[in-house]
Structure 1
Amino acid sequence: MFDRLTRLLNAGSPATQQREIVFGTRVVPYVLKRSARKTFGMKVDANGLTVSIPLKGSIAETEAFIRHHAAWLIEKLDAHAARPKPERFEVVDGAKLPVLGQDCTIRVMPGAGRARWIESHFDRELQLPHRPGQDPRLMLRRVLQRHALDYFAGRLDEYLHRLAATHPGVPRPALSLTGARTRWGSCSRHSGIRLNWRLIHFEHALIDYVVAHEVAHLIEMNHSPRFWSVVELLCPDWRAARAALKARGHALPEI
């Protein structure tokens, strides 16, 4: 497979290209990706249209495929364009930010020191130290990422424990964070599991679905029926969680 891709690149057909297609007066840019797949596919997300094709797929075949799905494509592009853009979160004393599905009050504390989480059954507060010249947004992002990594690690251990009931002996993968705009997580045999730190805004059940999804990839590195059967085993309510992520993911605060 690697040799085939290398020959393709050497022949002047890059694995990823920026292209566009015209529908009447509307020009639709898209990213064309070639890989060792057997079918044509497309997706629309916050970054626009991505079309994935087999290594030997031609531009003519690609454009015919896009035009065949033109109605679906235009509907999806318009739906994404109509979504409200994420609001820039202003780090000011008293601001409210969702953390693990619950409003958290930000308290900006002049001076040095460490950030502190103050939690009770009903309230959550983050005391954020701030010195002149310091970027409070950067500090808040770092605190949230550190909190996310600690929390995700515990959930990863939990779902590996559940997986061991039917698939014993699966080693614990490395865990790291990502800030990707269009993916909640990924799993690789080489780099382990990566989870989007912005998941920390969501309630536990939604985070658990993403963790379960990536843990299931340790058994099936695909999205086959066998993969979804592993997800079902780990997280029976995965369908509702996936739908909630799809509906609410675009509305997260911009930090």
Structure 2
Amino acid sequence: MLRPRRATAIEHDACLLVDGRELRYTLRRSTRRTLAMQVDARGLRVAVPLRCAAGEVEGFVRQHAQWAFARLAALAERQQRSAFAIVDGATFPLLGHPCRVRLGGGRGARWAPAADGHDELWLPAAAADHAALLQRALRGRALAWFGGRVAEYCHRLGVAAPPVRLSSARTRWGSCSLRSGIRLHWRLIHLPPALGDYVVAHEVAHLLEMNHSPRFWSVVESLYPDWRAARVRLRAAAAGLPLFLPGEDAGPINED
């Protein structure tokens, strides 16, 4: 006898009045065991267990409402920012230091040191899509840099270095899978090395603990003792990253 399949997830829009302000969100019920909240390009999303009582959901949303309002305001501000103007002499952050765009001859993008000690990225002036060339150059720089950092932290932990790939995830700076390896957001190449190293240490720690248990955070601390301060700074870092295309996501909010 065939039995009907049990629903695994149910989503619907919801709205709660908090201190006279409407807080709109998408409520997702699934087979998960805990309540969680996140803000991404789609807005506020609240995930709860299938049988979670309406009163418990409302209490959870109210408890975290101020956090949600702040994140939604930051998201709206990022989305209204104009795209970075790629002109000769414009600067963007590269590993926490200013990098200068230079437009000249040639067919492709190339990196070169400047007389003042900063890096320069040379792009062909006649290129049809400077933004695409710039992003491709940054991705190449990011893959080389973070491949080395993952190898270093794996060496410290005494584990084999897995494959490293780049991502453009909307909500996560990194992810780790025992099958496919570590993925790191390409925009980390903008940030100071200390912040990028925190994300690397976080993902490498998952090679031993595929969770966020106290044992996991103990591994992170052994690799990166100042992880708490780095975590706070990382969560605010996306607000200052350049946007190379109109409407582009500025960067993730969470580590993973």
Root mean square deviation, CA, Å: 2.6
Q: TM-score, normalised by structure 1?
A: 0.81
For residue 248 of structure 2, what is the aligned residue in structure 1?
Answer: none
Change (3 A) 1:136 1:73: closer
Decide which of 122, 126, 143 is 1:131's aligned counterpart.
Answer: 126
State the Cα deviation string for residues 105-133 of structure 1 (Å, max 9, x = none).
11112342x3221126822111112435x
For residue 109 of structure 1, what is the aligned residue in structure 2?
Answer: 104
Q: Could you tell me how far 1:156 is from its partner in structure 2?
A: 0.6
For residue 66 of structure 1, what is the aligned residue in structure 2?
Answer: 61
Gaps of 5+ in 2: 245-256
State the Cα deviation string for residues 130-151 of structure 1 (Å, max 9, x = none).
435x200011001101110111
2:211 maps to 1:217: no
Tell me whether 44-53 or 22-31 shows the greater mean CA deviation.
22-31
2:14 maps to 1:20: yes
Kindly indicate whether the alpha-carbon contact (under 8 Å) linking 1:86 and 1:253 is maintained by their aligned counterparts in 2.
Answer: no
For residue 49 of structure 1, what is the aligned residue in structure 2?
Answer: 44
Change (3 A) 1:173 1:58: farther
Of the two structures, which has the highest relative contact order with CA contacts closer than 8 Å and spacing of 6 or more?
Answer: 2
- How many pairs align? 238
Aligned residue for 1:49, secondary structure, equals strand
Tell me whether 192-201 or 81-90 shows the greater mean CA deviation.
81-90
Q: TM-score, normalised by structure 2?
A: 0.81
Q: Could you tell me how far 1:196 is from its partner in structure 2?
A: 0.6
Q: Could you tell me how far 1:175 is from its partner in structure 2?
A: 1.4
For residue 95 of structure 2, what is the aligned residue in structure 1?
Answer: 100
Change (3 A) 1:68 1:127: closer
Which letter maps to 1:156? V
Q: How does 1:1-255 map to 2 (within 5 A)?
A: 7-9=6-8, 13-14=9-10, 17-23=11-17, 26-45=21-40, 47-57=42-52, 61-67=56-62, 69-70=64-65, 72-74=67-69, 76-78=71-73, 81=76, 85-112=80-107, 114-119=108-113, 122-132=117-127, 134-164=128-158, 170-255=159-244
CA–CA separation in structure 1 for the residues paired with 2:49 and 2:56: 10
Change (3 A) 1:85 1:180: farther
Aligned-residue identity in percent:
50
Aligned residue for 1:199, secondary structure, equals helix
Kindly indicate whether the alpha-carbon contact (under 8 Å) linking 1:85 and 1:250 is maintained by their aligned counterparts in 2.
Answer: no
State the Cα deviation string for residues 22-43 of structure 1 (Å, max 9, x = none).
3177543323334443222223
